[in-house]
Amino acid sequence: WYILTLATFTFTFVVAIPAMSLPVLFAEIARDLGLTLVQVGWIWGIGSVMGIVVGLLGGPVGDRLGPRRTLAGACLLMGLCGAARGLTWNFMSLAVTMFFLGFAQSAIPMNVHKTCGIWFPGPRLGTANGVVSVGMAFGFMVGSLLAATVLSPWLGGWRHVFFLYGALALLFSLLWWFSQDQAAAADAAPVDHLSIGAALRHVTSLPNVWWLSLATLGVTACINGTLGYLPLYLRDLGWPDAT
């Protein structure tokens, strides 16, 4: 139960809420940093570039280090890069922090689901993955609902919102790192004697993997485009921020 709760709230507070807070804060950020709509699109999408690399290497790294250590390191990087967004002063500095943030952000989901696979094998795996996925969906709703309407006015601006999210990610990094006694089994992942290169060559030789990857590419592009721009368009149409 501890691992399932920690994994669920990692999705909520480390990944989903910070991610979906960004689109609703774009109006403030663009005004303060002088960003154009095109630059806003670059900021929203540039993290996915690093995600391509992590998508290939994050799984093998999680196998080698164990998901607990990998998640602790990813949350640490999320905290540092996420908070660093509050110190940016122009488009380029924000783009650089978002680029490296994408590295950690892409590594977390696969290792959360890997943790579920280790702790909840067999028929319980579907339920466990469903629970952590609800945590992600709940974070999407909360982040988009509260970031611009409650947190930013309360904390004094978008920069302090990112500082708060960075501190939360650092807290979850500690929780994963010090969960060793409770989560020792999560580091007992099946040992893969293949090198990372050999494993990647094997996987990329499977045609179905390429078809699945292309389909995921298209679906993810549509979802990310909608999530990133929809708040700006609805606000321009006169919708209240909370709505």
pLDDT digit string, tens, across residues 123-175: 899 999 999 999 999 999 999 999 999 999 999 999 999 999 999 999 999 99
Residue pointed to by tokens 């990692």: 10
pTM: 0.88
pLDDT digits (tens, 9 = 90+) for 11-28: 999 999 999 999 999 999
Burial (0-12, 13-18, 19+ Cβ within 10 Å), 205: exposed
Give which of 19, 241, 239, 45 is closest to 137, Cα–Cα: 19
The ranges of the chain with pLDDT < 50 are 181-184, 186-189
The whole-angstrom separation of Cα 38 and Cα 159 is: 21
